[in-house]
Amino acid sequence: MPAPRTASSVMPENPEPTPAQIRRWRHYLADELAEAATYEHLARNSTGRHAEILHSVAEGEGRHAEHWRRLLGPHARRTVRPALQARILMFLAKHVSSVFVLALLQRAESRSPYREDPDATDAMAADEAVHEEIIRALATDGRTRLSGNFRAAVFGANDGLVSNLALVMGVGATGTASSMVLFSGIAGLLAGALSMGAGEFVSVRSQRELLDASRPTQVTLQVAPSLDLDANELTLIYRARGMSEEAAEHRAAERLGHFDCDCDPSLSYRDEKALAALDDDAEAPSPADGHQALGTDLGAAASSFCFFASGAVIPILPYLFGLGGGAALVVAMALVGAALLVTGGFVGLLSGASPLMRGLRQLGIGYGAAIATYLLGLAFNTGVA
């Protein structure tokens, strides 16, 4: 097994480093200082454990910077600019939501060159791998908070972009007048947005109704005095709610007045959770608490309508500004392509994947649908001719 690379083991035998080493080490030093500054800025704009963790990561990057400064010796007096990516991250840390910066930092940590660089220590390479997992965990909180709204925004906008571009391309390829293509695009925008809004309204309303139907009622308190003690079915309610038989019998006895407190030592952790979540005489949760994750049905419908419409309006912009024929179709394809690259890039950014690859994937899907309907429109145009 090779000996671990330590700070002393990576020192060159010749005390004077080569020009190539000096250039590489200077860039490493600049990048580490930039990353440390980025983490420190994120820490200052965070609270609680996030701030503490980010500050510790910044200290780790500072230790790496000291390693390169020590190797450079007097050559460290001359500084170089950090890499473009490091400068972009510093800028984003000051002006953009931290979840996007953390997602980019996660990718940056995963591409650390220290595993292959003989001048870096094994500890530094290990630090970078650990930093990636730390940032992944911190970014997960933000991704979770954004997932619902972000999913609705991305899928709504993408649906509008792709479906209306396909409609415009298909109708435009038939050779019909530009005004008819515009009216078709407007009709597609309204029909799709209304359909999305109505579907989201029904979906959220149905989910809320299902949750309401599953919420415990106050029936046990109301009918407990009249229960037949020889055929006590009260225990069946609590067993149906997830409690063990013994715990259900104890809770039924409490309801019938035989116990004054929740003092049964036989209650398991699962039973305690069932009591806390399903106890029917506890303070009833407010509708906002019960449906916080779902939001309101009208709000969800309005959001879906707007997201779809924001995407669907882009393919008809050339026609709104007076273009027609093939020029309008080309401009529509270009505008939608740019929008698909942006939305795909944001998906890749939040998922920790390559924004470029996710953007190209979205572009391929959108253009594939548009080309298919365009060819269909050409077939109808040929038939009419």
Q: What is the pTM of this model?
A: 0.56
Question: Is 280 part of a structural domain of the chain?
Answer: yes
Cα 187 from Cα 181, distance rounded (Å): 10
**Cβ within 8 Å of residue 233, ≥6 positions away:** 227
User: Final residue of a domain: which of 123, 144, 165?
Assistant: 144
Same domain, 334 and 248: no
pLDDT at 208: 72
- 313 and 203, same structural domain? yes
d(CA 234, CA 227): 8
| The last residue of a domain, from among 242, 263, 284 | 284
Cβ neighbours of residue 286 closer than 8 Å, sequence gap 6 or more: none
What confidence score (pLDDT) does residue 145 get?
62
302 and 195 in one domain? yes
Note the pLDDT of residue 143: 67
Of 385, 368, 383, 378, residue with least CA distance to 174: 378
Which of these, 88, 97, 90, 86, lies nearest to 46 by C-alpha position?
97
- 76 closest CA partner among 14, 17, 141: 17
Q: Look at the chain and report how many structural domains it folds into.
A: 3
Q: Is residue 124 part of a domain?
A: yes
Same domain, 342 and 312: yes
Cα–Cα dist 311/301, whole Å = 16
Residues 34 and 122 in one domain: yes
Regarding whether 201 and 268 lie in a shared domain, the answer is: no
**Quick one: pLDDT at residue 352?**
62
Same domain flag for 157 and 199: yes
Is 233 part of a structural domain of the chain?
yes
Distance of CA 209 to the CA centre of its chain: 27
Q: Classify residue 130: in a domain, yes or no.
A: yes
Range of the domain at 236: 216-284
Q: With respect to residue 12, please indicate whether it lies within any of the assigned structural domains.
A: no
173-189: pLDDT as tens digits: 988 898 999 999 999 99
97: which 2 tokens?
């939501």
Residue 32 sits in a domain whose CATH number is 1.20.1260
The Cα 336–Cα 330 span in angstroms is 10
Residues 54 and 196 in one domain: no
Establish if 289 belongs to a structural domain: no
The pLDDT of residue 5 is 54
Instruction: Report the distance separating Cα 217 and Cα 279, nearest Å.
Output: 9
Q: Which residue has the tokens 């029904």?
A: 202
Same domain, 225 and 369: no
**Those residues with Cβ within 8 angstroms of residue 272's Cβ, 6 or more apart along the chain or in another chain:** none
Domain annotation covers residue 13: no
Indicate if 199 and 320 belong to the same structural domain: yes
Distance CA(108)–CA(297), nearest Å, equals 40
Q: Which among 258, 284, 310 is the end of a domain? A: 284
Shared-domain flag, residues 198 and 333:
yes
Give 286-327 pLDDT, tens digit per residue.
Answer: 444 444 444 577 777 788 888 899 999 999 999 999 888 889
Along the chain (385 residues), what's the average pLDDT of each consecutive run of 10 residues?
50 67 90 90 84 88 91 87 85 76 79 86 86 82 62 79 92 89 92 85 75 54 49 65 75 66 48 47 42 60 86 93 89 93 78 77 91 89 49
- Is 266 in the same domain as 235? yes
* Residue 5 within any structural domain of the chain: no
Burial class (CB in 10 A: 0-12, 13-18, 19+), 381: middle
